[in-house]
Amino acid sequence: MALKTRFALVAAAAALIGAAPVLAHHGWGSYDAAKPLTITGPIKHSTYQYPHVHVMIDHEGNTWEITLAPPSRMEARRAVLAVVKEGNVMAAYGYASTARPHEMRAERITVDGKTYEMR
């Protein structure tokens, strides 16, 4: 086998392996991390589901969709279903989506005086 072919194969394998960690953590690309904001209000609706927990909050005349962590991580941080249930007042600190209006990715949430980290 030619040395060149061998090199090309090794390079292809390295690219395949190397690409994984770069792309492994998703979700922050289409959110404006330069302008963090806090959305506060009573939770109108909540879906405690994979791949991400979502809550809807009315804020300054708009209904915001807040994307939270996956259920497994929510539970690990003690942000269980009862914390994000409908009617609870939540303050979500995070970044607005640049792709969809009134959608935000929460960095942390505060409910009833307790703060839960989403990352």
Q: Which of 2, 18, 35, 112 binds another protein (CB under 8 A)?
A: 2
Q: Look at residues 113, 73, 70 and name the one whose alpha carbon lies nearest to residue 90.
A: 113
**Placement of tokens 């804020």 in the chain:** 59
Q: Is 77 helix (H, G, I), strand (E, B) or coil?
A: coil
Write each residue from 30 to 69 as x if it is in contact with another protein (CB under 8 A), else as -, in one continuous string: x------------------xxx------------------
The helix (H) or strand (E) run that includes residue 76 is: helix 71-76
Residues facing 63 on adjacent strands: 58
Q: Which of 32, 58, 75, 107 binds another protein (CB under 8 A)?
A: 75
E strands in 14-102: 31-47, 54-59, 62-67, 89-97
Q: How far is the CB of 38 from another protein (least distance, A)?
A: 25
Q: Is 105 in the site for another protein (CB under 8 A)?
A: no
Give contact residues for another protein (rule: CB under 8 A).
1-2, 5-6, 9, 12-13, 15-16, 19-20, 23, 26-27, 29-30, 49-51, 70-72, 75
